[in-house]
C-alpha cells in the first residue's frame, strides 16, 4: 500500500489532471465501487476502486479513445477499461492518451 501511495504522489507531479481536473462521480449510488472521471485541458483520467473485501463486477461507462493504465495495486491489469471483476480493494487509474 505504501508503494501505491508513493507512485500516486509521483504521478501527481507529472499529471496535472490528478490535481486540477473537473471531478465527475460515475457511480454515485454504489456503496462498494468508486468510479470517477477527471478532465483537465484535454486530458482525462478514469479511476475505479473496489472499496470492499469482496469481488465486485464493474462495467465501464461509455468511453472513447485510447487509454493507458497508469497505476494499479494488483500484478496485472487491462490496458483499456473494460468490463471486469474487481478483486477485493483493487484500484486502477487509466489516463486517456
Q: Order of strands, edge to edge, in the sheet holding 67-72?
A: 22-25, 33-40, 43-50, 91-96, 67-72
Neighbours of 59 (CB within 10 A): 11
Please tell me the predicted confidence (pLDDT) of residue 38.
93
CA dist 84 and 88 (Å) reads 13
Res. 97: pLDDT tops 80 = no
The overall average pLDDT reported for the chain is 88
- What is the grid cell recorded at 57? 463486477
User: Can you give the pTM of this predicted structure?
Assistant: 0.86
Range of the domain at 85: 2-96
- Helices and strands, number each (H, E), in the chain: 2, 7
Q: How many domains does the chain have?
A: 1
CATH number for the domain harbouring residue 76: 2.60.40.1180
35-70 pLDDT per residue, tens? 999 999 989 999 999 999 999 999 988 888 899 998
With residue 48 as reference, give the H or E element that holds it.
Answer: strand 43-50
Amino acid at each position: 500500500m505504501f508503494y501505491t501511495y508513493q507512485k500516486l504522489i509521483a504521478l501527481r507531479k507529472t499529471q496535472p489532471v490528478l490535481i486540477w481536473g473537473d471531478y465527475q462521480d460515475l457511480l454515485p449510488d454504489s456503496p462498494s465501487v468508486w468510479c470517477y472521471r477527471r478532465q483537465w485541458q484535454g486530458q482525462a483520467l478514469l479511476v475505479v476502486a473496489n472499496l470492499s473485501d469482496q469481488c465486485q463486477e464493474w462495467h465501464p461507462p461509455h468511453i472513447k479513445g485510447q487509454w493507458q493504465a497508469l497505476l494499479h495495486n494488483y500484478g496485472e491489469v487491462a490496458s483499456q477499461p473494460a468490463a471486469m471483476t474487481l478483486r477485493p480493494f483493487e484500484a486502477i487509474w487509466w489516463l486517456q492518451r
